[in-house]
Amino acid sequence: MTGSRKAVRALLRASLLGAIVLSLAVASAQTLNVTLDQNIAVIDPTANWLYDLTANQFVPLVGYDSVTGQAEPAGAESWSVSDDGLTYTFNIRQGWNWSDGTPVTANDYVNSFRRIADPATAAPMAYRIYIIQGAQAVNQGETDDLSTIGVAAVDDHTLTVTITSPASWFLSSLASIGHAIPQWTIDAHGDAWTNPENVVVNGPYKLTRLVPEDIAVLEANPSYYDAENVQIKTVNLYAVPQESTALALYEDGMLDTVNVPASDLDRVKADPVLSAEYYNGPATVLYYYDFNAMRAPFDNVLVRQAFAAATDKQSIVDFITKGGEIAASTITPPGNVGHVPAEAGVGIPYDPERAKELLAEAGYPNGQGLPTITLAFNASETHSRIAQAIQQMWQQTLGATVELQSVEGATYSQVAADGAYNVWRMGWGMDYPDANNLHAELFTSDVGAAAIVRNAEYDRLIAAAGVEQDPAARLAMYTEAERILIEEEAGVMPIYWSAQNILVKPSLDRVLAPSFNREFWKWSID
């Protein structure tokens, strides 16, 4: 262990020990100690979707069961949909207050959707509500009249939302956007409204302390509508960017649950104590490679198909990630509406001989004439090892010269979007459990990056699946759409669906769900 790492660990240990001592001094307050590997400076649910700090403080209209993916009541106790599928009527809970005693009303949700659409907010997920009548026009500056957005409070406890076309995925999507907000607090404090001294919440927890890049403390909110069932009273979230450091703190008894770094999996599995506390399960995250169809040689579909056929995904999950990941032949992860099962036979299987044939047919026999292939990935040990393995596969099977480019995470998304490389690694964690979240937001012609092949039939199928109500018919549409995207056009190469590798102290009863969402109000400590 390096000196700097020892110092960080010592500081964190001191901070954590302080929290633990405090929790012991207050016997009635059960305290959870966990890490947060993201920036904890911004907790505005409109501006930044940081689940641990937003969803645990602000309540959406509907939620969904993090295990089954089924919609469930949240801010709305119930809802109904008009016969034409365009108007949703939500019945907001009654007898429920914000943490300052102000009643929660339908208008709080109206304010939320208006704030998301308002271009002045610069909400990164504003596009997610374009299906709501008038939202896109407001967000793109065609009008500044927020009242034109199709969200209205009929009375204090009745909300209507009008969308532009029927959408089978719309209800599910509301679980991750459109959380009620306290507009009066925002008006009073501006950007400082999320500071602990100013923030007003309606969720199970309230932020009471925040030190950016250090610690956030959540305390149970007695005004929450189900406060009596929130068993854990204090949650300490520590900024620990290095998973290896977090694991060391867990082993020291300072943390209650952590992710296991890939480099430590074998050791954890072999340890008699840690192995008993180890959990491995599926996760709703897709890792994939984009082929840049706008640049030679990947502007030739045969080349794209050849490189896909030369990629042994199973060996990647067997010998590199080794965390229970599933080699992916299709796009949508298991457990989500629209997942195309393996038995559908969709995808380009690993077939080195066929890969050689395709490359020769494209005019590059044994790789002759191929330019140097640039493969970009965001800097991390695991992504680097995967890229190195794929580099070797492509060089050995196809005779290609492959140059690897490691790009820092802060700039990676923009670099990938610019299309500067032939191939680049991407990933997507599901915002809501429906294939629409992947296809309509990543791969269709109106939103896809330079890497994505434009295909009118694929676009038509995704649009049709987004409207179709019959589950079997939707799956058939997604199956054909993925066949076009992955096989016929070969614009995208799925690599694997992620897995969760977690350590959990025996005293902690936590929900282990594919979505990765940490709903602390559903956890308990023995």
Give, for all 526 residues of the chain, the pLDDT tens digit: 444 445 555 555 555 555 444 443 343 448 999 998 666 666 788 876 677 888 899 999 998 877 777 788 999 999 999 999 999 999 999 999 999 999 999 999 999 999 999 999 999 889 999 999 999 999 999 999 999 999 999 999 999 999 999 999 999 899 888 899 999 999 999 989 999 999 999 999 999 999 888 899 999 999 999 999 999 999 999 988 788 899 999 999 999 999 998 889 999 999 999 999 999 998 889 999 999 998 899 999 999 999 999 999 999 999 999 899 999 999 999 988 999 999 999 999 999 999 999 999 999 999 999 999 999 998 788 899 999 999 999 999 999 999 999 988 667 767 666 777 899 999 998 888 899 999 998 999 887 554 467 899 999 999 999 999 999 999 999 999 999 999 999 999 999 999 999 999 999 999 887 877 899 999 999 8
Rounded Cα distance, 87 and 483, in Å = 33
Per the structure block, which two tokens stand in for 313? 């995904």
Spatial CA neighbour of 224 closest among 355, 49, 380, 93: 93
Q: Give the pTM.
A: 0.85
Q: Please tell me the predicted confidence (pLDDT) of residue 9.
A: 53
Q: Are 244 and 261 in contact, with CB atoms under 8 Å apart?
A: yes
Three-class secondary structure of residue 513 per DSSP: coil
Secondary-structure class of domain 281-500 per CATH: alpha beta
Q: Please tell me the predicted confidence (pLDDT) of residue 15.
A: 56
Identify the CATH number of the domain defined by range 59-180.
3.90.76.10
Rg (CA), the chain: 24
- To the nearest 10 degrees (0 to 180), the angle between helices 301-309 and 352-361 is 160
Q: Please tell me the predicted confidence (pLDDT) of residue 297.
A: 96
What residues does CATH 3.90.76.10 cover in the chain? 59-180
Rounded Cα distance, 25 and 2, in Å = 34
Q: Please tell me the predicted confidence (pLDDT) of residue 12.
A: 56
Q: Please tell me the predicted confidence (pLDDT) of residue 75.
A: 97
> Prior bond to 297 cis, omega within 30?
yes
Q: Are 434 and 338 in contact, with CB atoms under 8 Å apart?
A: yes
Residues 6+ apart with CB under 8 A from 525: 30, 31, 32, 231, 232, 256, 507, 508, 509
Alpha carbon 245 to its chain's center: 23
Surface-to-core class of residue 278, CB atoms within 10 Å of its CB (0-12 exposed, 13-18 middle, 19+ buried)? middle
Q: Please give the CATH superfamily to which domain 3-38+197-256+505-525 belongs.
A: Periplasmic binding protein-like II (3.40.190.10)
**CA within 13 Å, CB half, 77:** 12
Sequence-ordered alpha helix ranges (H) in 483-518: none
Spatial CA neighbour of 278 closest among 287, 266, 289, 286: 266
Per the structure block, which two tokens stand in for 55? 């969803």
What residues does CATH 3.40.190.10 cover in the chain? 3-38+197-256+505-525
Rounded Cα distance, 76 and 60, in Å = 8
What residues does CATH 3.10.105.10 cover in the chain? 281-500
Residues 6+ apart with CB under 8 A from 228: none
Q: Please tell me the predicted confidence (pLDDT) of residue 20.
A: 45
Residues 6+ apart with CB under 8 A from 355: 306, 307, 308, 309, 310, 397, 398
